[in-house]
């Protein structure tokens, strides 16, 4: 078991902590006996997920990600399907999570040119504890005043459709190539299990000693939403605090208890989908 240290990416709208990352030159790290190593030393660069902690102060760009087929053909990469767990959000916060209806590419392109694209966007209110699935091809934007745990395919490709008049590159043609006429709504007060073809996310509430089910074939990531915990295996004991992430090797027996005065803890357990 390792507590990982993130790769920190500063943005014009806030920052991202890449807490589990195999991306070249953007790897998360772990420390043993005072020596720091990239995560690829234990994963060989093959762990298929990228997990981020995102803090926003302003709106992110309006963007869309390619699916595997398009990304492999045009970017020599896998695609990017992702999911967001809302750690915190200002009252009244809304997310852009798709299009209102079916639009042809010419209408979308014209709306972008004329700064009218907001009229086409599906927005949904969210609050702390909600979960939102964003499959590849979904037009989306995270707005300011949010803290989010993002789980996604291990892909660093983003196509910007519109950037709220900020002077950054946009990729309109590629966006229009991959946009799907879909939108997502949040799972309110997520407190169970969500899975897709790439990852499985489980919310756990810990009060007494609890056994954590670990993937038998791939690494398991455990993110502490709240509380302080101690994880124990046959030959290791490790403590983890709020908003830390523990990376666990496959096929080990792990128990979890709350530390000190903490009587309850909330965890997100992240696994690679079983057929991956």
Please state, as a whole number, how many other Cβ atoms lie within 10 Å of the Cβ of residue 23.
15
Q: Give the separation between CA 33 and CA 35, rounded to whole angstroms.
A: 6
Please give the torsion angle defined by the CA atoms of residues 48, 50, 51 and 55, in that order, rounded to the nearest 10 degrees: -170
Report how far residue 17's alpha carbon sits from residue 51's, in angstroms, rounded to the nearest whole number: 9
Distances (CA, A) of 178 to 120, 122, 127: 16, 17, 29
Active site residue 168: no
Q: How far is CA 178 from the centre of its chain?
A: 20
Tokens, residue 157: 């490709």
Q: Which of 147, 160, 200, 276 is catalytic?
A: 160
Alpha carbon distance 226, 160 (integer Å): 33
Buried/exposed code over 139-149 (b: 16+ C-beta within 10 A; e: otherwise): bbbbbebbbbb
Q: Tokens 């006996």 belong to which residue? A: 33
Signed CA dihedral, 126, 131, 253, 3: sign only: negative
- Strand, coil or helix: what is 135? coil
Task: Yes or no: say if 71 and 132 are a contact pair by the CB < 8 Å rule.
Answer: no
Sequence length of the chain is 276
8-state DSSP, 5:
B
Which of the residues are catalytic? 160
């Amino acid at each position: 078991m390792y507590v990982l240290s993130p790769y920190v990416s500063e943005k014009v709208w806030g920052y991202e902590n890449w807490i589990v990352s195999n991306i070249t030159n953007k790897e998360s790290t772990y420390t043993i006996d005072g020596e720091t190593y990239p995560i690829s030393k234990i994963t060989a660069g093959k762990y298929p997920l990228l997990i981020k902690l995102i803090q926003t102060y302003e709106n992110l760009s309006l963007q869309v990600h390619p699916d595997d087929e398009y990304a492999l053909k045009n970017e020599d990469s896998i695609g990017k399907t992702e999911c967001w767990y809302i750690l915190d959000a200002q009252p009244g916060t809304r997310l852009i999570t798709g299009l209102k209806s079916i639009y042809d590419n010419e209408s979308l392109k014209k709306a972008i040119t004329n700064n009218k694209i907001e009229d086409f966007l599906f927005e949904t209110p969210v609050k702390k504890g909600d979960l939102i699935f964003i499959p590849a091809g979904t037009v989306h934007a995270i707005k300011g005043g949010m803290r989010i745990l993002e789980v996604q395919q291990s892909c660093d490709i983003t196509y910007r459709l519109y950037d709220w008049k900020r002077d950054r590159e946009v990729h309109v043609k590629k966006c229009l190539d991959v946009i799907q006429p879909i939108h997502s709504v949040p799972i309110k007060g997520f407190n169970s299990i969500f899975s897709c073809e790439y990852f499985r996310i489980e919310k756990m509430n810990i009060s007494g000693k609890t056994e954590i089910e670990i993937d038998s074939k791939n690494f398991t990531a455990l993110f502490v939403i709240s509380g302080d915990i101690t994880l124990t295996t046959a030959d290791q004991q490790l403590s983890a605090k709020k908003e830390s992430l523990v990376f666990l090797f496959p096929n080990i027996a792990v128990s979890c208890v709350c530390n000190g005065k903490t009587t309850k803890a909330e965890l997100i357990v992240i696994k690679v989908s079983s057929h991956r």
